[in-house]
Amino acid sequence: MSTHTATASPEALRAEMVARIRATGHAYRDEVEQVLLDTPRHAFVPNAGPADAYDPYQAVVTHRFEDGRSLSCASAPWLVAAMLDQLDVRPGQRILEIGAGTGYNACLLAQLTGRADLVTTVDIDTDVTRHAAEALSATGYGGVHVITGDGALGYPDHAPYDRIIVTVSPWDIPPAWRKQLAPGGRLVAPLRWRGQGRSAALTDRDGVLVSDSLHLCGFVYLLGEDDGELAGPITDDERVTLHSDRDQDIDIAALRGLLDQPRVTAWSGVTLARNESHDGIWLRLTTTDTRVCRLKVLPDVPPEVCDPVPGWWRLALADSDTLAYLTVRRVDSGGEVHAELGAIGHGPAAPELTEYLCQQVRAWAPGREQDTPTLRVYPAGTPASELTGPVIDKAHSRFVLTYDHRSPALGEG
Nearest to 287 by CA among 359, 199, 360: 360
Q: Residue 8 — pLDDT band, cuts 50, 70, 90?
A: confident
One of 3.40.50.150, 3.60.10.10, 3.30.1330.60, 3.30.70.270 is the CATH number of 3-216, namely 3.40.50.150
Active site residue 244: no
Distance CA(309)–CA(45), nearest Å, equals 33
Nearest to 247 by CA among 323, 287, 193: 193
For residue 374, pLDDT over 90 is answered with yes
Question: How many of the other CB atoms lie within 10 Å of CB of 236?
Answer: 11
Quick one: pLDDT at residue 406?
47
Strands (E), 153-282: 161-166, 181-193, 196-205, 208-216, 229-233, 240-245, 263-272
For residue 112, pLDDT over 90 is answered with yes
Per DSSP, the three-state class of 352 is helix
All structural domains of the chain with their residue ranges: 3-216, 229-368
Quick one: pLDDT at residue 157?
98
Distance CA(239)–CA(403), nearest Å, equals 36
* Bond from prior residue into 156 cis (ω within 30 degrees of 0): no
Question: How many of the other CB atoms lie within 10 Å of CB of 162?
Answer: 20
**Residue of 72, 75, 169, 268 with catalytic role:** 75
Q: Residue 67 — pLDDT band, cuts 50, 70, 90?
A: low
395 class by beta-carbon count within 10 Å (0-12 exposed, 13-18 middle, 19+ buried): middle
Radius of gyration of the chain (CA): 22
Distance CA(147)–CA(155), nearest Å, equals 8
- Cα separations (Å) of 139 from 182, 274, 320, 410? 30, 41, 55, 54
The mean pLDDT value for 370-379 works out to 89
Do the bridges between strand 229-233 and strand 240-245 make them parallel or antiparallel, or are there none, so unpaired?
Answer: antiparallel
Quick one: pLDDT at residue 81?
97
Quick one: pLDDT at residue 64?
53
- Cα separations (Å) of 294 from 88, 153, 278, 316, 395? 31, 29, 15, 5, 20
For residue 103, pLDDT over 80 is answered with yes
Distance CA(72)–CA(127), nearest Å, equals 10
The mean pLDDT value for 268-288 works out to 89
pLDDT, tens digit (0-9, with 9 covering 90-100), for 295-339 = 999 999 999 999 999 877 799 999 999 999 999 999 876 667 789
Strands (E), 196-335: 196-205, 208-216, 229-233, 240-245, 263-272, 292-297, 314-319, 322-333
Q: In this structure, which amino acid lies at residue 226?
A: D
Judge contact between 398 and 392, C-beta under 8 A.
yes
Q: In this structure, which amino acid lies at residue 64?
A: R
Do the bridges between strand 145-148 and strand 119-123 make them parallel or antiparallel, or are there none, so unpaired?
Answer: parallel
Do the bridges between strand 292-297 and strand 314-319 make them parallel or antiparallel, or are there none, so unpaired?
Answer: antiparallel
Quick one: pLDDT at residue 87?
98
Q: Residue 410 — pLDDT band, cuts 50, 70, 90?
A: very low
Residue 218 Cα to chain centre, angstroms: 4
For residue 413, pLDDT over 50 is answered with no
Nearest to 189 by CA among 170, 211, 161: 170
Do the bridges between strand 119-123 and strand 95-98 make them parallel or antiparallel, or are there none, so unpaired?
Answer: parallel
* Average pLDDT of every residue of the chain: 90
Distance CA(35)–CA(82), nearest Å, equals 13
